[in-house]
Structure 1
Amino acid sequence: MKRMQLVRPLRNCCKSSPMSHLPFAKKCRLKSKVANVKEDRKLADGPLHEDDYDALFACLAEYTDRYKANNKVHERVSWLSRIVRLKGQSSDPVRILLAVSGGADSLALMVLCHEWCQRADIGIELFVASVDHRLRPESGDECAYVAQLAQERGLSHRTLVWEGEKSHANLQAEAREARYRLLTDYAEEMSCHCLVLAHHLNDQAETVVMRLLRGSGVSGLGAMHEVQRQGRLTLLRPFLSVPKTRLVASLLERKIEWAEDPSNNKKSYLRARVRAMMPVLAEEGCSPERLGATARRMQRADAALSTVVDKFFQDEALEAPGHSLWVNLSSYCALAEEFRLRILRKALIYVAGPAYPPREIKLLAMDEALQSAYSRQYAQKRTVGGCCFDMLWRGKDGFFIYREPGRNPLESPLFLQKPVDWLGLCSVRLAGEVDFGDERPVLHALGQEGRLIYEMKAGFLKSGAWNDDNLPVPLIEALPSVWWRGEPCAVMHWSNERDKPAFRVEFEENDTIFSSNTDLGRMI
C-alpha cells in the first residue's frame, strides 16, 4: 500500500492541536518528509497573511459588479455582490462549497478561506467536499485527513466516492468529469451557490503551455478563469495569481501537513511532462508569471471578441421553439472569419447543449457551406455537432439551427415534483396530484408520430410569433415532449388548451442570451 507522504513531522500537525493527528498517522503508517524550502525565501514566495486576504478574496465582488453591469448574473451567483457588503448583516449565511483533496493547494484554500471568513465576519457558511476516486489505496486516508482538519475548524465535510468501472483509455478526463459531477450534485444538495477551486499560478502556466502544444486559439490560451460558469454551477478560482510556493509556505507556517499524489509525476500524463519542462522554460524567461500574464491578455482579447459576437446575437438572431435559432445569413457572411466561427460555436452550444462543440475543422466546413449558400442563393441542409443547419429556408435570408431529429432517442422517466434535465437546455417537472400507476410519464423528442398526434389534440403549433407555417417540420419534431399512455400530453413551446392532462407539466429553460430580440417580422 502506497503511503500518503506528508511534509512536516506529524507531531506538529496542527497549530491549534499539536498532537491531534498522531494516532491517525500511526494507524495509517504515514511517512513525513521535509520540503526543500530555503531559509532565505524571498518575500514573493513567503506565506500568505491577513493583509493579503482582502485582495485575494474580495476580487470575487469585483467580478460580480462587472457581470451585473452586463446583465449576465444568474440568481445562483447573486451572493457574490453581497460578500463585501453584508458583513454581519445577513441572517441567512451564504453557502459556498470548497473542493479539498488533501493536497497542499486545496488545504491552503480551506485554511485561508476559513481564516478570512472568521476575521472579516462575513455572512458565509463554508462546506468542504473531497472526492475519493478510488484510484489509489491511500485516497480514503487522505479524505479522512481532510475531514479531521475541517472538523477542527467547525466546517462540514463530506467524502464523495466515484463508484463504478473506470476506463483507462482517458482516465484523467473521465476522473475530472466524475469529480465535477459529484461536486455539482453535492453543491445543489447543500444549496451552495458556487464551487471554489484551488488552481494556482503554476497550474495556470502549465495549462497555457498544454493549450499551446494543442494549437489552441485565443479562447484556449486564456486557460482558466477566476469566475466561470460550468453547467449548473459557478466556479471560482481565487489563487490563479498566487504561486504554489506561497500556498506551501502558508501551510508550513501553520505546521499543517498535506498529501502528495504520486500520479502528478507520472510521465504518461501530458500535464506531468509539461510540469517537468517548466524549470527549463523559466530559464529562458518563460516563467509562470509571464505565462499567467499571457493568459490574462488572451482573456481580455477573448472578452473583446465575445462582445461583438454577443451584439450579433442580440441584433441578428432569434430564439425559435425548443432552444433552436434563426440567424440572419447576410449579416453573418459580412463578418470576419474569427467572428463567424465564434458565432457557430456559440450557436451549437446553445442549441445542442453545453457539451464540447465540434472541432474547428468542422466549423470551417460549415462556415464555407453557409457562405456558398449565400453567394449562390442555393438552399441546402447540413448537419454538424448533432444539429441541422437549414439554409435559406423557403428563400428567406437566414438559416435555422435545430437539433437533429432522432439524435437523442433515449427516454427519461418523470416523477412528480422531481425536475429532470433535458440535454442541459431545460428542466422538466410534473406537478399536481395523480396516480400514474404502472405507466409512468417519460420525456423524449416529439418525433413524426408525436407531431401528428399532437396536432390532432392541440391544433397546429403556435408559440408567440412562431407557428407551424414559419418553422421547419424537423425542428418541431425535435421538441422535448412528455408522453403518457402511448401519446404526447405536453410539448415544449406548444400550447394545448383543448386536451390538458390530469397533471401540470413545467418546462423551465436554462439561461437565454437572445431575450432582447423579438422582432420576428423584420428577421423572417
Structure 2
Amino acid sequence: MIAGNSDLTARFAQAMGHLAPERPTRLGIAVSGGGDSMALMHLAHQWCGAELHVATVNHGLRPEAGDEAQFVAQAAQALGLKHTTLHWQGWDRRGNLQDAARNARRHLLTDWAQGEGLQGVLLGHTQDDQAETFLMRLARGSGVDGLAAMAPAQMADGLHWLRPLLDFTRRELRDWLRASQIAWVDDPSNDDTGFDRIKARQALDTLASMGLTRARLSETAARMADARTVLDAAAANAAHDICRFEHGDFVFDTARLDALPQDTRYRLLARAVCEISSNAYRPRLSALRKAMTCASATVHGCLITRGARDLRITREANAVRDLRAPLGEWWDRRWQVLRPDDQHTAPHLSIGPLGEAGLQHCNDRTGWRLPRASLVASPAVWDGTRLIAAPLAGFAPEWRICVREPRESLPSGRYSH
C-alpha cells in the first residue's frame, strides 16, 4: 500500500463493512477501465474480504472498446483475479440507445454473476455520478423517484448490488490512482458536451460557488430516497387491494386505480411494467400518463390495455417476437416450461413466443387462461416451426409452465400452471 493512501483504503473497508456486514465470500466487480471502476477493483483487492471476479461489458459501440476490455483483463490478471469480457450483440435500433445499452449491461452482469455463483456485484458509482444524475433528472422535470439517490445496496435477481464508492469523489479516486501508479482509460466521450452528463459535470463546477456542491446535491438525493421509501410503502399497500397477478399479467381494478393519488397510481404502473419487462429502470412518467388515457398503449416492451373494469399489463408481442431459449432455461428472463416427464432438456425443442401463428392451433378457447393479446406474447414450446405445447392457451396442457414471482411490493397469485 502506498503511504498516504491509508485513509482511502480505510474508508473503503468501512463502506464495505456497512454494505456487506456478513462478509460475502464471492463477489463480482464491474470494471470498464475508467478511473472510478479501476479504483474500485484495486480498493476491493486490497480490502480482500472475498473471492473477487471481474467483468467488463463490451457494448460494441466504439472501436476502442475491445482494447479497453483487454486492458482491464491484463490489470485483473496482474492482481490474480479472474476476468470475463461480456459482449452485447448490439442495438436493434428500436427505442433509446442509452437505455438499451444500460439495460443490456445490467442483464449481462446478472447472467454472468449467476453463472459464476457470485453473491453480489460491486458497481463503481461515485458521489459525482450521484450529483450529475440529480442535475440531469432535475432538468427533465423528474419527481421524487428520479431525484432519489442511487441505493448503496439493493437486492435484485438474487444478487446484492453494492455501490461502496458513493461517498468518494472522482477527483480523490484519481489522485489515489496516480499516487499508487495505477493506470486507467479515459473514454473520449467524457469530453463530448453533446452528452447531457458532460454538461452536468461541467455545470457542477460553476454551481459549487452557490453552495450546490457535489456533496450537497448527494445529500438532497439521499433525502429524496427517504421520501421514496415512504411512497413505495403506500403503493405496496394499495397494490394488494386493487391488483392481481394472473398468469404473468398484472390486472388492476380500473375504478380503484383511478381513485388513488397520482403518485401511487403511476408508481404501481411503473413497477408492474418493470416486473414484466425485467427492466431495472422505470419508464418515463410522460409515457405512463399517456397510457392511462388510451384504450391500448405500449410502454417499456409491455402492452397496457384499459377497459371499464380492468386495466391489464402484459408483455408486448413485438418485444419477444425473436426471443428463443433452450427448453429448461428461463425465457424472457421470467418464464420456464417443463415437460410432463420432468426431463428438463431436449436439444430439438426450444421456447419462443406463441404468436398469432401458434394461436391458430389453439382453437378451444375454453383452455385459454389469458386474453388473446397476452397469449400471443406467452411462452410456447416449438420443434422448429411445429408447435409442441402452449399450456396457457390450452394446447398440450399437461406441460407445466411457471413464471417468476413478483417482488413483495406487488401481489403474487395465479402465476403457474
2:256 aligns with: 331
CA 171–267 in structure 1, closer or farther in 2 if over 3 Å, else same? farther
Equivalents in 1 of 2:179, 2:119: separation in Å? 31
Deviation at 1:329, TM superposition (A): 3.5
C-alpha contact (below 8 Å) 2:353/2:376 kept by paired residues: no
* 223, 233, 238: which one aligns with 1:312: 238
Identify if the C-alpha distance between structure 1 residues 453 and 150 changes in structure 2 by more than 3 Å, giving closer, same or farther.
closer
Answer whether contact 1:47 1:250 (CA < 8 A) is retained: no
> d(CA) in 2 for partners of 1:244 and 1:170?
27
2:359 aligns with 450
Task: Measure the CA separation in 1 of the matches of 2:28 and 2:122.
Answer: 6
Matched, 1:421 2:331: yes
Aligned residue runs from structure 1 range 469-488, under 5 A? 472=371, 474-476=373-375, 478-484=377-383, 486-488=386-388
From 124, 128, 136, the equivalent of 1:202 is 128
Percent sequence identity over aligned pairs: 30
Given that 1:352 and 1:387 are in contact with CA atoms closer than 8 Å, whether structure 2 keeps it comes out as: no
In the TM superposition, residue 54 of structure 1 has moved relative to its aligned partner by 3.9
Once residues 152 and 355 of structure 1 are traced to their aligned partners in structure 2, the CA distance between those partners, rounded to angstroms, is 33
Contact 1:389 1:401 in 2 (8 A): yes
Find the counterpart in structure 1 of residue 162 from structure 2.
Answer: 236
Provide the rounded CA distance (Å) in 1 between the counterparts of 2:166 and 2:187: 21
Question: What secondary structure is seen at the aligned counterpart in 2 of 1:421?
Answer: coil
- The residue type paired with residue 306 of structure 1 is D
For residues 30 and 90 of structure 2, what CA distance do their matches in structure 1 show? 21
1:95 is aligned, of 23, 26, 29, to 26
d(CA) in 1 for partners of 2:74, 2:134: 35
**1:478-522 Cα shifts (integer Å, max 9, x gaps):** 54322447345242496966xx4xxx6553425444776769xxx
Q: Secondary structure at the match of 2:52?
A: strand
Matched to 2:190, the amino acid is: N
**Is 2:39 the partner of 1:108?**
yes
Q: Cα distance 1:327–1:290, how it changes in 2: closer, same or farther (>3 A)?
A: same
User: 1:232-286: per-residue Cα shift (whole Å, max 9, x none)?
Assistant: 7543211112122332233244332333333211222221222122111001111
TM-score computed with the length of structure 2 as normaliser: 0.81
TM-score, normalised via structure 1 length? 0.66
Contact 1:454 1:488 in 2 (8 A): no
Q: Does the 8 Å contact 1:333/1:340 carry over to 2?
A: yes
**1:100: how far off?**
1.8
- CA–CA distance in structure 2, aligned partners of residues 334 and 164 of structure 1: 42
The alignment covers a number of residue pairs equal to 408
State whether residues 275 and 406 of structure 2, in contact with CA within 8 Å, keep that contact through their aligned partners in structure 1.
no
CA distance in 2, matches of 1:405, 1:211: 28
Question: Greater CA radius of gyration, 1 or 2?
Answer: 1
Shift of 1:200: 0.6
Amino acid at match of 2:258: C
Tell me, yes or no, if the aligned pair for 2:103 and 2:279 is still in contact at 8 Å: no
Q: Distance in 2 between matches of 1:232 and 1:276?
A: 37
Query: CA–CA distance in 2 between the matches of 1:284 and 1:267?
Result: 22
Q: Which residue of 1 aligns with 2:391?
A: 491
Alignment of 1:226-265 (within 5 A): 226-228=152-154, 234-265=160-191
Gaps of 5+ in 2: none
Measured in 2, the distance between the counterparts of 1:173 and 1:473 equals 29
Residues 47 and 248 of structure 1 are in contact (CA less than 8 Å); yes or no, is this contact kept in structure 2? no
In the TM superposition, what whole-angstrom CA distance separates every residue of 1:62-103 from its partner, at most 9, and x where no partner exists?
xxxxxxxxxxxxxxxxxxx632xxxxxxxxx73221112332
- The within-5 A match list for 1:371-520 is 381-385=295-299, 386-392=302-308, 398-403=309-314, 406-408=317-319, 410=321, 412-417=323-328, 419-422=329-332, 424-428=333-337, 432=343, 440-445=349-354, 447=356, 450=359, 453=362, 455=364, 460=367, 472=371, 474-476=373-375, 478-484=377-383, 486-492=386-392, 500=398, 506-513=401-408
2:405 touches 2:412 (CA, 8 Å); kept in 1?
A: no
> What is the alpha-carbon distance in structure 2 between the residues aligned to residue 506 and residue 188 of structure 1?
22
Question: Which amino acid counterpart does residue 274 of structure 2 have in structure 1?
Answer: I
How big is the shift at 1:352? 4.8
RMSD between aligned alpha carbons?
3.9
What is the CA-CA distance between 1:56 and the residue it aligns to?
1.0
